[in-house]
Amino acid sequence: MLTRRELLSCMELGKALTSELHSERLFGNILQKVSDLLPAENWSLLLLNEETGELRFELSVGLNLEQVKDVRLRMGQGIAGKVALAQCPMVVRDVQKCDFFAKQVDQLTGFVTKSIVCVPLIFGGKTLGVIEVVNPRSLKGNPLPLLSIIADYAAIAVENMRRYRESHELAIHDDLTGLYNTRYLYRVLSDLAATAETLRDPFSVIFLDIDDFKHVVDTYGHLKGSQALQEVARTLRECLTEPAFGVAYGGDEFVAVLQGFNKSQAIHKAEEIRARMKQTAYLANHGQSVNLRASFGIATYPDDATDVTTLLALADRAMFQIKGKGKDAVQSA
Protein backbone atom coordinates (compact mmCIF):
# COMPACT_ATOMS: atom_id res chain seq x y z
CA MET A 1 0.00 0.00 0.00
CA LEU A 2 1.33 3.44 -0.94
CA THR A 3 2.07 6.02 1.72
CA ARG A 4 0.44 9.44 1.71
CA ARG A 5 3.75 10.98 0.58
CA GLU A 6 4.02 8.54 -2.32
CA LEU A 7 0.44 9.18 -3.42
CA LEU A 8 0.94 12.94 -3.35
CA SER A 9 4.19 12.59 -5.29
CA CYS A 10 2.46 10.49 -7.93
CA MET A 11 -0.30 13.10 -8.29
CA GLU A 12 2.27 15.87 -8.67
CA LEU A 13 4.16 13.81 -11.23
CA GLY A 14 0.97 13.13 -13.19
CA LYS A 15 0.16 16.83 -13.42
CA ALA A 16 3.70 17.69 -14.46
CA LEU A 17 4.09 14.97 -17.07
CA THR A 18 0.74 15.20 -18.80
CA SER A 19 1.28 18.91 -19.45
CA GLU A 20 4.87 18.60 -20.72
CA LEU A 21 5.68 18.24 -24.44
CA HIS A 22 9.38 19.13 -24.40
CA SER A 23 11.22 15.81 -24.50
CA GLU A 24 14.26 16.70 -22.39
CA ARG A 25 12.19 18.19 -19.59
CA LEU A 26 9.65 15.38 -19.84
CA PHE A 27 12.19 12.58 -19.51
CA GLY A 28 14.14 14.48 -16.89
CA ASN A 29 10.99 14.87 -14.78
CA ILE A 30 10.25 11.17 -15.04
CA LEU A 31 13.65 10.02 -13.85
CA GLN A 32 13.90 12.73 -11.21
CA LYS A 33 10.67 11.54 -9.60
CA VAL A 34 11.76 7.91 -9.81
CA SER A 35 15.05 8.76 -8.14
CA ASP A 36 13.26 10.71 -5.39
CA LEU A 37 10.87 7.88 -4.56
CA LEU A 38 13.13 4.88 -5.21
CA PRO A 39 16.75 5.71 -4.31
CA ALA A 40 19.20 3.63 -6.34
CA GLU A 41 22.60 3.75 -8.04
CA ASN A 42 21.12 4.55 -11.44
CA TRP A 43 17.84 4.89 -13.29
CA SER A 44 17.29 4.58 -17.02
CA LEU A 45 14.48 5.22 -19.45
CA LEU A 46 14.55 3.09 -22.60
CA LEU A 47 12.14 3.80 -25.46
CA LEU A 48 11.03 1.41 -28.18
CA ASN A 49 11.72 2.21 -31.81
CA GLU A 50 8.63 0.89 -33.57
CA GLU A 51 10.41 0.55 -36.92
CA THR A 52 13.30 -1.57 -35.66
CA GLY A 53 11.55 -3.20 -32.68
CA GLU A 54 14.52 -2.31 -30.47
CA LEU A 55 14.88 -0.54 -27.14
CA ARG A 56 17.42 2.26 -26.83
CA PHE A 57 18.54 4.43 -23.91
CA GLU A 58 16.72 7.76 -24.03
CA LEU A 59 17.95 9.07 -20.70
CA SER A 60 19.95 7.77 -17.78
CA VAL A 61 20.90 9.06 -14.34
CA GLY A 62 24.04 7.48 -12.94
CA LEU A 63 25.33 6.27 -16.33
CA ASN A 64 27.20 8.15 -19.03
CA LEU A 65 24.61 8.27 -21.84
CA GLU A 66 27.39 8.62 -24.44
CA GLN A 67 28.67 5.19 -23.48
CA VAL A 68 25.32 3.46 -23.90
CA LYS A 69 23.71 5.51 -26.70
CA ASP A 70 24.45 2.79 -29.27
CA VAL A 71 23.19 -0.10 -27.15
CA ARG A 72 20.09 -1.73 -28.63
CA LEU A 73 17.99 -4.43 -27.00
CA ARG A 74 15.60 -6.52 -29.03
CA MET A 75 12.18 -7.34 -27.67
CA GLY A 76 12.73 -10.29 -25.35
CA GLN A 77 16.46 -9.61 -24.96
CA GLY A 78 17.74 -8.94 -21.44
CA ILE A 79 15.57 -7.94 -18.52
CA ALA A 80 14.36 -4.76 -20.26
CA GLY A 81 13.50 -6.69 -23.41
CA LYS A 82 11.63 -9.39 -21.46
CA VAL A 83 9.59 -6.76 -19.60
CA ALA A 84 8.82 -4.88 -22.82
CA LEU A 85 7.73 -8.04 -24.62
CA ALA A 86 5.66 -9.51 -21.78
CA GLN A 87 4.32 -6.07 -20.71
CA CYS A 88 4.81 -7.23 -17.14
CA PRO A 89 6.99 -5.60 -14.43
CA MET A 90 9.87 -7.56 -12.97
CA VAL A 91 12.05 -7.48 -9.85
CA VAL A 92 15.39 -9.25 -10.18
CA ARG A 93 17.12 -9.31 -6.81
CA ASP A 94 20.30 -10.97 -8.07
CA VAL A 95 21.16 -10.60 -11.75
CA GLN A 96 23.86 -13.27 -11.46
CA LYS A 97 21.08 -15.80 -11.00
CA CYS A 98 19.16 -14.44 -14.00
CA ASP A 99 19.75 -16.44 -17.17
CA PHE A 100 18.65 -13.62 -19.51
CA PHE A 101 20.47 -10.67 -17.92
CA ALA A 102 22.23 -8.72 -20.72
CA LYS A 103 25.77 -7.63 -19.79
CA GLN A 104 26.45 -5.09 -22.56
CA VAL A 105 25.94 -2.01 -20.39
CA ASP A 106 28.20 -3.27 -17.59
CA GLN A 107 30.88 -4.23 -20.11
CA LEU A 108 30.77 -0.81 -21.78
CA THR A 109 30.64 1.31 -18.62
CA GLY A 110 32.38 -0.73 -15.94
CA PHE A 111 29.24 -0.47 -13.82
CA VAL A 112 28.37 -3.51 -11.69
CA THR A 113 24.68 -4.38 -11.79
CA LYS A 114 23.45 -6.37 -8.84
CA SER A 115 19.67 -5.98 -8.89
CA ILE A 116 17.05 -4.42 -11.16
CA VAL A 117 13.46 -3.30 -10.88
CA CYS A 118 11.96 -2.86 -14.36
CA VAL A 119 8.46 -1.76 -15.42
CA PRO A 120 6.97 -1.33 -18.90
CA LEU A 121 5.48 1.85 -20.32
CA ILE A 122 2.22 0.79 -21.96
CA PHE A 123 -0.33 2.91 -23.80
CA GLY A 124 -3.33 1.56 -25.69
CA GLY A 125 -1.97 -1.97 -25.38
CA LYS A 126 1.35 -1.01 -27.02
CA THR A 127 4.73 -1.03 -25.31
CA LEU A 128 6.43 2.36 -25.55
CA GLY A 129 9.49 1.54 -23.46
CA VAL A 130 10.63 0.60 -19.96
CA ILE A 131 11.95 2.24 -16.81
CA GLU A 132 14.82 0.49 -15.05
CA VAL A 133 15.87 1.10 -11.44
CA VAL A 134 19.31 -0.45 -10.99
CA ASN A 135 20.77 -1.44 -7.63
CA PRO A 136 17.98 0.10 -5.56
CA ARG A 137 19.02 1.07 -2.05
CA SER A 138 16.38 -1.18 -0.55
CA LEU A 139 14.17 -3.93 -1.88
CA LYS A 140 12.17 -4.32 1.30
CA GLY A 141 8.49 -4.43 0.59
CA ASN A 142 7.20 -4.28 -2.98
CA PRO A 143 8.43 -1.37 -5.14
CA LEU A 144 6.28 -2.35 -8.13
CA PRO A 145 2.97 -0.62 -7.24
CA LEU A 146 4.69 2.76 -6.92
CA LEU A 147 6.88 2.33 -9.98
CA SER A 148 3.93 1.03 -12.03
CA ILE A 149 1.92 4.17 -11.26
CA ILE A 150 4.86 6.32 -12.35
CA ALA A 151 5.18 4.22 -15.51
CA ASP A 152 1.47 4.70 -16.32
CA TYR A 153 1.81 8.47 -16.07
CA ALA A 154 5.06 8.33 -18.06
CA ALA A 155 3.43 6.30 -20.84
CA ILE A 156 0.66 8.87 -21.22
CA ALA A 157 3.22 11.67 -21.33
CA VAL A 158 5.44 9.89 -23.88
CA GLU A 159 2.45 9.18 -26.14
CA ASN A 160 1.33 12.82 -25.88
CA MET A 161 4.82 13.94 -26.83
CA ARG A 162 4.95 11.53 -29.80
CA ARG A 163 1.61 12.74 -31.12
CA TYR A 164 2.71 16.34 -30.73
CA ARG A 165 5.89 15.58 -32.69
CA GLU A 166 3.91 13.81 -35.41
CA SER A 167 1.48 16.70 -35.80
CA HIS A 168 4.38 19.15 -35.87
CA GLU A 169 6.15 17.08 -38.55
CA LEU A 170 2.97 16.90 -40.63
CA ALA A 171 2.56 20.67 -40.38
CA ILE A 172 5.97 21.38 -41.93
CA HIS A 173 6.25 18.55 -44.48
CA ASP A 174 4.76 18.04 -47.92
CA ASP A 175 2.33 15.11 -48.00
CA LEU A 176 3.42 13.74 -51.38
CA THR A 177 7.21 13.96 -51.29
CA GLY A 178 8.01 14.06 -47.57
CA LEU A 179 10.20 17.14 -48.16
CA TYR A 180 9.66 20.31 -46.18
CA ASN A 181 6.87 22.63 -47.31
CA THR A 182 6.89 26.36 -48.10
CA ARG A 183 5.70 27.27 -44.61
CA TYR A 184 8.89 25.80 -43.20
CA LEU A 185 10.98 27.29 -46.02
CA TYR A 186 10.06 30.91 -45.30
CA ARG A 187 10.42 30.44 -41.56
CA VAL A 188 13.92 28.97 -41.83
CA LEU A 189 15.08 31.46 -44.46
CA SER A 190 14.10 34.33 -42.17
CA ASP A 191 16.12 32.76 -39.36
CA LEU A 192 19.10 32.15 -41.67
CA ALA A 193 19.03 35.76 -42.87
CA ALA A 194 19.09 37.04 -39.30
CA THR A 195 21.95 34.70 -38.40
CA ALA A 196 23.91 35.45 -41.59
CA GLU A 197 23.70 39.17 -40.92
CA THR A 198 25.22 38.68 -37.47
CA LEU A 199 27.82 36.02 -38.29
CA ARG A 200 28.51 37.07 -41.90
CA ASP A 201 27.76 33.50 -42.92
CA PRO A 202 26.38 33.14 -46.48
CA PHE A 203 23.68 30.75 -47.60
CA SER A 204 22.29 29.88 -51.01
CA VAL A 205 19.04 28.65 -52.50
CA ILE A 206 18.61 26.51 -55.59
CA PHE A 207 15.33 26.69 -57.50
CA LEU A 208 14.84 23.68 -59.76
CA ASP A 209 12.00 22.90 -62.13
CA ILE A 210 11.64 19.56 -63.92
CA ASP A 211 11.84 20.06 -67.68
CA ASP A 212 8.84 19.02 -69.78
CA PHE A 213 7.12 17.35 -66.85
CA LYS A 214 3.71 17.81 -68.49
CA HIS A 215 4.86 15.36 -71.15
CA VAL A 216 5.55 12.76 -68.44
CA VAL A 217 2.07 13.21 -66.98
CA ASP A 218 0.41 13.13 -70.42
CA THR A 219 2.33 9.97 -71.35
CA TYR A 220 2.17 7.96 -68.14
CA GLY A 221 -0.74 9.48 -66.21
CA HIS A 222 -1.11 11.51 -63.03
CA LEU A 223 -0.37 8.62 -60.65
CA LYS A 224 2.95 7.87 -62.34
CA GLY A 225 3.62 11.60 -62.41
CA SER A 226 3.19 11.76 -58.65
CA GLN A 227 5.48 8.77 -58.25
CA ALA A 228 8.10 10.49 -60.40
CA LEU A 229 7.94 13.57 -58.16
CA GLN A 230 8.51 11.35 -55.12
CA GLU A 231 11.54 9.83 -56.81
CA VAL A 232 12.97 13.24 -57.74
CA ALA A 233 12.50 14.26 -54.10
CA ARG A 234 14.51 11.17 -53.11
CA THR A 235 17.29 12.23 -55.48
CA LEU A 236 17.32 15.66 -53.88
CA ARG A 237 17.51 14.19 -50.37
CA GLU A 238 20.39 11.90 -51.39
CA CYS A 239 22.39 14.91 -52.61
CA LEU A 240 21.85 17.05 -49.52
CA THR A 241 23.59 16.70 -46.18
CA GLU A 242 22.21 18.46 -43.10
CA PRO A 243 21.82 21.28 -42.38
CA ALA A 244 20.97 21.57 -46.10
CA PHE A 245 17.41 20.53 -46.88
CA GLY A 246 14.93 20.22 -49.73
CA VAL A 247 11.51 21.80 -50.17
CA ALA A 248 8.56 20.82 -52.33
CA TYR A 249 7.72 24.28 -53.63
CA GLY A 250 4.70 23.30 -55.68
CA GLY A 251 3.90 21.15 -58.69
CA ASP A 252 7.18 20.08 -60.26
CA GLU A 253 9.26 22.81 -58.59
CA PHE A 254 11.69 22.20 -55.74
CA VAL A 255 14.00 24.35 -53.64
CA ALA A 256 17.26 23.36 -51.95
CA VAL A 257 18.44 25.50 -49.04
CA LEU A 258 22.21 25.40 -48.53
CA GLN A 259 23.34 26.88 -45.23
CA GLY A 260 26.94 28.14 -45.30
CA PHE A 261 27.24 27.74 -49.10
CA ASN A 262 28.69 30.58 -51.16
CA LYS A 263 27.89 31.04 -54.85
CA SER A 264 30.54 28.68 -56.26
CA GLN A 265 29.68 25.94 -53.74
CA ALA A 266 25.99 26.26 -54.59
CA ILE A 267 26.72 25.97 -58.31
CA HIS A 268 28.75 22.83 -57.66
CA LYS A 269 25.89 21.33 -55.62
CA ALA A 270 23.34 22.17 -58.34
CA GLU A 271 25.55 20.45 -60.93
CA GLU A 272 25.78 17.42 -58.63
CA ILE A 273 21.97 17.20 -58.39
CA ARG A 274 21.65 17.70 -62.14
CA ALA A 275 24.16 14.91 -62.83
CA ARG A 276 22.44 12.55 -60.38
CA MET A 277 19.11 13.13 -62.10
CA LYS A 278 20.63 12.35 -65.50
CA GLN A 279 22.07 9.09 -64.14
CA THR A 280 18.75 7.97 -62.67
CA ALA A 281 16.08 5.96 -64.45
CA TYR A 282 12.82 7.17 -62.93
CA LEU A 283 9.74 4.95 -62.56
CA ALA A 284 11.98 1.90 -63.04
CA ASN A 285 10.11 0.08 -60.26
CA HIS A 286 6.85 0.74 -62.11
CA GLY A 287 7.74 -0.86 -65.42
CA GLN A 288 9.09 2.32 -67.03
CA SER A 289 12.50 3.93 -67.55
CA VAL A 290 12.01 7.68 -67.71
CA ASN A 291 14.83 10.18 -68.08
CA LEU A 292 14.14 13.45 -66.28
CA ARG A 293 16.05 16.69 -66.58
CA ALA A 294 15.71 19.98 -64.72
CA SER A 295 16.60 23.66 -64.95
CA PHE A 296 18.40 25.20 -61.97
CA GLY A 297 18.52 28.80 -60.73
CA ILE A 298 20.78 29.90 -57.85
CA ALA A 299 20.86 32.96 -55.60
CA THR A 300 23.16 33.62 -52.64
CA TYR A 301 22.69 35.73 -49.51
CA PRO A 302 23.97 38.42 -49.14
CA ASP A 303 25.71 38.62 -52.55
CA ASP A 304 22.51 38.71 -54.58
CA ALA A 305 19.92 39.93 -52.06
CA THR A 306 19.56 40.81 -48.40
CA ASP A 307 15.92 39.86 -48.02
CA VAL A 308 14.34 36.44 -48.39
CA THR A 309 11.62 37.34 -50.89
CA THR A 310 14.05 38.92 -53.34
CA LEU A 311 16.51 36.05 -52.91
CA LEU A 312 13.90 33.45 -53.92
CA ALA A 313 12.64 35.65 -56.76
CA LEU A 314 16.16 35.96 -58.20
CA ALA A 315 16.75 32.21 -58.04
CA ASP A 316 13.37 31.65 -59.68
CA ARG A 317 14.17 34.17 -62.41
CA ALA A 318 17.55 32.55 -63.09
CA MET A 319 15.81 29.20 -63.44
CA PHE A 320 13.29 30.58 -65.94
CA GLN A 321 16.13 32.14 -67.95
CA ILE A 322 17.54 28.63 -68.32
CA LYS A 323 14.12 27.45 -69.49
CA GLY A 324 14.22 30.06 -72.25
CA LYS A 325 17.74 29.07 -73.35
CA GLY A 326 17.14 25.35 -73.82
CA LYS A 327 16.71 23.89 -70.32
CA ASP A 328 18.79 21.26 -68.46
CA ALA A 329 21.42 23.67 -67.13
CA VAL A 330 22.47 25.74 -64.11
CA GLN A 331 22.51 29.54 -63.84
CA SER A 332 23.11 31.89 -60.97
CA ALA A 333 21.44 35.21 -60.32
Which position has the higher pLDDT, 72 or 35?
72
**Does the pLDDT at position 2 exceed 60?**
no
pLDDT by residue (tens digit) across 171-207? 888 989 999 999 999 989 988 988 877 777 899 999 9
- The answer to whether the beta carbons of residues 130 and 84 sit under 8 Å apart is yes
CB within 8 Å of 174: residues ≥ 6 apart: 180, 181, 247, 248
Instruction: Over range 219-243, report the average pLDDT.
Output: 95
pLDDT by residue (tens digit) across 149-174? 778 877 887 787 777 777 777 788 89
Instruction: Over range 256-281, report the average pLDDT.
Output: 96
**Does the pLDDT at position 6 exceed 70?**
no
pLDDT by residue (tens digit) across 279-305? 999 999 888 899 999 999 999 999 999
Domains in the chain, CATH or no CATH each:
4-169 (3.30.450.40), 182-332 (3.30.70.270)
Cα 66 to Cα 50, 57, 106: the distances in Å are 22, 10, 14
Q: What is the pTM of this model?
A: 0.60
**Does the pLDDT at position 249 exceed 70?**
yes
Q: What does the angle CA 124 – CA 129 – CA 134 come to, to the nearest 5 degrees? A: 140
Q: Measured between alpha carbons, how far is 198 from 201 in angstroms, rounded to an integer?
A: 8
Instruction: Over range 241-258, report the average pLDDT.
Output: 95
Q: Which of 15-19, 37-41, 166-170, 176-180 has the highest mean pLDDT?
A: 176-180
Q: Which H or E run includes 41? A: strand 40-49
Q: Measured between alpha carbons, how far is 327 from 329 in angstroms, rounded to an integer?
A: 6
Q: Which amino acid is located at 295 in the chain? A: S
